[in-house]
Structure 1
């Protein structure tokens, strides 16, 4: 008698998990359909948000954003710009109203 009640409980848990997966899919489809008339802003119902998958969705979105940024063509450097990898800042020489002067080396030359 106990084994049949255990089997029944396991079946109920499996059915509940299946219902939750279907419910999650339904919620995501409802949330994606809730666009504002201007298509610029999205409005969500707080009781329809699935917080369990937010981190996964955020990671997917950010990976798309970062990959787009990498595709941007490198910009042309200005005449006054230097390669920061070649700069070694040593110590502060003076401080004033308009900034601070440091002693350092750039590409083997002493600079300030």
Structure 2
């Protein structure tokens, strides 16, 4: 009986450790809307460090829709996704170091995320 309790406890502990890792492995990005559906995402920009440092990163592809952020990990600085909305409000989303790429897609409905 004690062996089953120990095994169950270990299994539960491993389960608790794995779940957050899986949740973070998906993606992180801008909410499509803020406050109301009319206040939709209109643009996103990526920064090396906080937005206040004003170090905007140039996209890595010709149509300006993707960034390879793997090289910025060694700088020790936080990469930040700046989400810009129709009403001119902004949200700064710190990008976790586990992500490799960031994207912006769409014309009328914009999506911006890192994965």
The structure showing larger relative contact order (alpha-carbon pairs under 8 Å, at least 6 residues apart) is: 2
- Give the alignment's TM-score, normalised by structure 2: 0.31
Q: Which has the larger radius of gyration?
A: 1
Q: Identify, as 1 or 2, the structure richer in strand.
A: 2
